[in-house]
Amino acid sequence: MSTATATTEPLYPALAAPPPPARPRVLLVGTILASAAMVMGYAGIIGAYVSTRATSASPWLPDGVVIPLSAPNMAAVTLLMSVVTLHWAQYSIRNDDRPNAYVALGLTLVLGVAFVNSAVYLFTQMGAAIARTLPEFLLYAVGGFHIATIAVGVVYVALMAFRALGGQYSGRDSEGVAAAAVFWDAAVAVYLVSWLAVYVTK
């Protein structure tokens, strides 16, 4: 049998039913907590890097190891663009603009993969070897952390994109995309800290 899906306005607004209870935002809260844990994990790694650098004899980087600024700059710009596209996707979903949401989610995924490519390329440019000296080892640890977190973010966004394609998210419920955006923003924020503390200040 079929039922009507259109909503009807109440005949007497004063007698309208009370608004439904606020929907629990379980996924969003869980993602905020997981993102906080990720940020603290990053704090542990960058803390080890900075404190070891502060107590080491100068120069910090051994001969033959250089950190070119162009690749980290490009990576930072790529991630900043991905933040814009992901929030564009979130805005579009919230306004039931599905075509724009799909384009924005796809662009975010492409930019995320581009960042991973850029970060791996940076390792080849630096001339560093993970098992040679302590600074090189820590450079790999910090860079590897960002590759891992953005890779997790790409999987998260892809999952939410597939759910959006399946029609799960709409203007009434965009929680999944909002949750992915929270994790993505946190991952980008910690990369920007590394960009400043590791790649710019060296």
Instruction: Please identify which residue in 16, 30, 70, 192 interacts with other proteins, judged by CB under 8 A.
Output: 30
Instruction: Please identify which residue in 7, 13, 131, 166 interacts with other proteins, judged by CB under 8 A.
Output: 131
At its nearest, how many Å lie between other proteins and the CB of residue 74?
26
At its nearest, how many Å lie between other proteins and the CB of residue 114?
25
Instruction: Please identify which residue in 84, 132, 200, 202 interacts with other proteins, judged by CB under 8 A.
Output: 132
**Only segment of 36-44, 84-92, 108-116, 186-194 that touches other proteins (CB under 8 A):** 36-44
Other beta carbons less than 10 A from residue 108's beta carbon: 28
CA 147 to chain centre: 11
What b/e string do you get for 73-92 counting C-beta neighbours within 10 Å, with b at 16 or more? eebbebbeebbebbbbbbeb
State the Cα–Cα distance between residues 146 and 46, nearest whole angstrom: 11
CB distance 112 to 153 below 8 Å: yes
Instruction: Please identify which residue in 16, 26, 66, 69 interacts with other proteins, judged by CB under 8 A.
Output: 26
- How many residues make contact with other proteins (CB under 8 A)? 34
How many residues make up the chain in this entry?
202
Per CB under 8 A, does 130 bind other proteins?
Answer: yes
Instruction: Please identify which residue in 10, 13, 24, 166 interacts with other proteins, judged by CB under 8 A.
Output: 24
- Determine the Cα angle at 147 with ends 141 and 152, to 5°: 125
**From the CA atom positions of the chain, what is the Rg in Å?**
22
Summarize as ranges the residues that interact with other proteins (CB under 8 A).
Answer: 1-3, 5, 21-22, 24-26, 29-30, 33-34, 36-38, 40-45, 47-48, 51, 130-134, 137-138, 140-141
